[in-house]
Amino acid sequence: MIWFLTNFFKMQIPKEVLSWLPKYLRYTDYLSAAQLYLKDNFFLKEKLKAEHVKERVLGHWGTCPGLNVIYAHLNYLIYKHQAEILFICGPGHGAPAVLSNLFAEGTLTKYYPELTRDEKGTGDLLKRFSWPKGFPSHVTPMVPGSILEGGELGYSLSTAYGSILDNPNLISACVIGDGEAESGPLAAAWNANKFVNPKSSGAVLPILHVNGYKISNPTIYGLMSDEEIKNLFSGFGYHPIFVEDNDTIHDDMISALEQAYQEIKQIWKNAREKGKILKPRWPMIVFRNPKGQTGIKSYHGTKIEGSFHSHGIPLTNPAYDHKQLEAVEKWLKSYKIEELIDKNGSPKTEILKFVPKEKYSMGQNKHAFGGKIKKDLKLPDSKNYQVKCERKCRGQCLESNTYKAGEYLRDIFKLNKKEQNFRFFCPDETESNKLQAIFEETKRAYTWPVAKHDENINPDGRVTEMLSEHTLQGMYEGYVLTGRHGLFATYEAFAPIISSMIDQYAKFIKQSMRMDFRPPVASMNILLTSSLWRQEHNGYSHQNPGFIANVLLKHGAFSSVYLPPDANSLIVALEDCFKRTDCINAIVASKQKTPQWLSLEEAKKQLETGIMVWEWVGGEGSKNPDIVIASAGDYVTYESLAAVSLLKEHIPELKIRFVNVSELTALGVGDECHSLGLCEVKRKDFNNFFTEDKPIIFTFHGYPAVIQQLIFGHEAANRISIHGYNEEGTTTTPFDMQIDNKTSRFHIAIDVLQKMSKENSEIKSKANKLIMLFEQKIKDHSAYIVKYGKDMEEISQWCWKQ
């Protein structure tokens, strides 16, 4: 059955095509099934024996036959039109099908020359699947043509939408499993179609693969009627085309894909020739077929094909169960592989007749190898955005760090207007985060009608705002992996929503670095704003610096966390991030006006190592200090300097060194060397900053455990006292947040006095009295804010004095 919303006529399909498809599918289905089981006797030239079967039978079968059908029909569509199609596989463990088709089209042989399309190469492929050091059961960077790390479900559609932005001739065919379609990220991603401008971007062709079952349950979409699915996706703005696997499957699928292709071409034409951009209704395919089709129908009275029993390995123990071995042999022999190959074990010419060659094959689509087509981003001169910071009046100039960043980003859009290779992603917070200068050069992208009074919205806009961090992150990943550049800005508290996605992306990048056919892509840059220290008005729910910890738990060699203390430091951090490749950068920056500390040149100097002694703080005492006070983060740097000021006022003889850390991996992460910081071979440099034996009071923007992790095992760990966010918060004043988490100037000063009392008898004589004074200040503060609703003036009006 096939059903369309528009008038539909059956195409006249060439008989040779209808003859080719079943043979090609027998070939790829055989390869897919054999990958699961065989380590020898690859073409069943002799009776299947236990020693021919892998001891560890791993992988998933259920999705493979449907994927093979889709891939085969897309091949014919490409062959017929020489269309530029990128294949994105959503089903997490569909690798056997993808590998089978890549092998058939010659892509695997190109990148793995030993995998020749003959008996030896075929055997190597079959044995290598889910074999130690071989191909995993899901698509990874080892698999050419892929831009999506399989396994964790939900990100295929958003990644596909990112891939086609600013790629006007590209169609990304995205297969979405009906199990994956139940996930929150995937459900939100259907709305990404509203941000695609058909004049300048390509098209996503979603193919919802409804085979009815997950691991052990029916799927939601499998239980929905065609009418219900039609209504759902029509509301999302799609034109659903339904195809059901039956006796006319090949006629129907060819016709459905042809109609979808022509509808896409018409949408492009309307936009590019007639200026009709608003509210296009993009086609999608809903393909129903039985799970595990062509496999074992049933075993010992249990239904397998068309049930959840075919989801993974239909029969899991053939190496040790003779009955299962016989059933597997019967299954594999049903494909009659001997009819499809020549005497060398190569697929016969007729099997490959309508398979696209070279650049037109989906596995060799140039956009899947983004590093090969990436162009460097043109960056403006950072001097144009510097905040003048006179050394005699440090901290007295106030500026919104992100506002200056907005001006910098505005001009990146301007400089790269012709290349159209930079985009900004943000969940409805561009203006909230003081980045509104961007709108002087570009607007928010949107292709559905809006009201006249709506601001800064245009189909040509290069800012994507949607209240789904998952969708934005997926689009950003698709955009970067196809060779472009970007930035994702979000509230710090809600960045953990995409932590798992970043984890998967980190795995993709790490594996890509090991593959010669994957040149470096642009960096992944996440700007965290509206940070916890100034979310006192929104309250506890908006106070969460956890994303930093997540990034640093990844791979220290290419994951960085920048904590610029001021605007100049933020500009040079952004500049550095945009120049880097194959890495993940998290940048934490204030949007509120804060004191400015460093000149642009000083900020650049500090960036070289991510850490610097601010000698102007301690003066002569900085050279041979009694104690080291350190900070990482804009607001805590302010408090740390206020603590230094208090100590200088009350104990002028105390010699203090002040160290600022603006890139966290400068402290060292595990045993991996970071390009910016103090890696293992440079650990001695730690003491150049923090001395060999003096106490260290370190105040950190986020959770103290992050710093504990970074310094774990270091000889200096036992002399470091760490202040940070201790999961205390509410709706209160800015300074009260510091008080509650013991990061205030008073708490830092008290910590210093307690440490120095053990080291210096003269200071000890003054310490108790000062500690009582500072503790009273804390009590006075608490009473004051309850009475007046604001911080005391001595706190809010404090500024650094040289």
Average pLDDT, integer, range 712-716: 81
Boundary residue ending a domain (567, 595, 623): 595
Q: pLDDT for 264-289, tens place per residue?
A: 999 999 999 999 999 999 999 999 99
Classify residue 532 as left (phi > 0), alpha (psi -120 to 50) or beta: alpha
Strand 422-426, strand 398-400: pairing = unpaired
pLDDT, tens digit, 9 for 90 and up, residues 454-471:
999 999 999 999 999 999
Average pLDDT rounded to a whole number, residues 599-612: 95
How many helices (DSSP H) and strands (DSSP E) are in the chain?
Answer: 26, 21
User: Span 438-467, mean pLDDT?
Assistant: 97
Residue 569 belongs to some domain of the structure: yes
Mean pLDDT is highest, among 321-335, 382-396, 719-733, for: 321-335
**468 shares its domain with 520:** yes
Q: What mean pLDDT is predicted for residues 417-426?
A: 97
What average pLDDT does range 369-387 have in this prediction?
96
Same domain membership, residue 509 and residue 591 = yes
Specify the pLDDT at position 119.
97
Instruction: Give the span between the Cα atoms of 777 and 435, in whole angstroms.
Output: 37
**pLDDT tens, position by position, 252-266:** 999 999 999 999 999
- DSSP secondary structure of 522-586: BPEEEEEES-GGG-TTT-GGG---HHHHHHHTS-TTTEEEE--SSHHHHHHHHHHHHH-BS-EEE
Domain stops at, among 538, 566, 595: 595
The CA-atom distances, in angstroms, between 129 and each of 293, 332, 508, 512, 695 are 21, 17, 19, 19, 55
Per-residue model confidence (pLDDT) at position 680: 47
Mean pLDDT of all residues in 759-764 = 81
- Average pLDDT of span 604-620: 94
Q: Tokens 């009627």 identify what position?
A: 225
d(CA 573, CA 590): 14
Please say which residue of 344, 366, 388 terminates a domain. 366
pLDDT of residue 389: 79
Whether residue 219 is found in the same domain as residue 325: yes
Q: 523 and 591 share a domain?
A: yes
Phi, psi (degrees; rounded to nearest 5) at 303: -70, 130
> What pLDDT, on a 0 to 100 scale, did the predictor assign at position 375?
95
Q: What is the mean pLDDT of the chain?
A: 93
Instruction: Kindly state whether residue 610 falls inside one of the protein's structural domains.
Output: no
Q: Which domain holds residue 113?
A: 2-366
What is the model's pLDDT at position 253?
97
Convert the pLDDT of each residue in 214-251 to its tens digit: 999 999 999 999 999 999 999 999 999 999 999 999 99
Which of the two residues, 549 and 22, has the higher pLDDT score? 22
Residue 417 included in any domain: yes
Confidence of residue 493 (pLDDT cuts 50, 70, 90): very high
How many Cβ atoms from other residues are within 10 Å of residue 368's Cβ? 26
Same structural domain, 591 and 620: no
Nearest Cα to Cα of residue 147 among 368, 365, 363, 360: 368
**Mean pLDDT of all residues in 102-127:** 97
Segment 60-81 mean pLDDT: 97
Residues 162, 303 share a domain: yes
Per-residue pLDDT for 207 more than 50?
A: yes
Highest mean pLDDT among 198-202, 536-540, 701-705: 198-202
775 pLDDT more than 80: yes
Residue 578: which CATH number? 3.40.50.970
Rounded Cα gap, residues 704 and 727, in angstroms: 10
DSSP, res 210: E
In a domain, 245, yes or no: yes
What pLDDT was estimated at residue 672?
42
683 pLDDT tier (thresholds 50, 70, 90): low
Same domain assignment for residues 333 and 469: no
Task: Clarify whether residues 556 and 668 are in a common domain.
Answer: no
pLDDT of residue 757: 87
Task: State whether 352 and 453 are in the same domain.
Answer: no
Q: How far is CA 398 from CA 433, 661, 738, in A?
A: 16, 21, 20
Distance between CA 429 and CA 402 in Å, rounded?
12
- 104 band by pLDDT with thresholds 50, 70 and 90: very high
Note the pTM of the prediction, 2 decimals: 0.95
Please check whether residue 61 lies inside any domain of the structure.
yes
The number of domains in the chain is 3
pLDDT for the residue numbered 673 = 46
pLDDT at 392: 75
Residue 219 and residue 324 in one domain: yes
Residue 595's pLDDT band (boundaries 50, 70, 90)?
A: very high
pLDDT level of residue 717 (50, 70, 90 thresholds): confident
**Given a cut of 60, is residue 607 above it in pLDDT?**
yes
Same domain for 221 and 315: yes
Is residue 802 a part of any domain in this protein? Answer: no
Q: Is residue 319 part of a domain?
A: yes
Domain at 770, CATH number: 3.40.50.920
Q: What are phi and psi of 613, to 5 degrees?
A: -80, 125
Give me the mean pLDDT over the 604-624 stretch: 94
In the prediction, which pLDDT does 682 show? 52
Q: Who has greater pLDDT, 392 or 724?
A: 724
DSSP 225-267: -HHHHHHHHHHHTEEEEEEE-STTHHHHHHHHHHHHHHHHHHH
Given a cut of 70, is residue 74 above it in pLDDT?
yes
600 lies in some domain? no
Residue 7 has pLDDT above 50, yes or no: no
Backbone angles phi, psi at 397, to 5 degrees: -90, 130
Q: Write the pLDDT tens digit of every residue in 381-401.
A: 999 999 987 777 898 899 999
Q: Are 665 and 552 contained in the same domain?
A: no
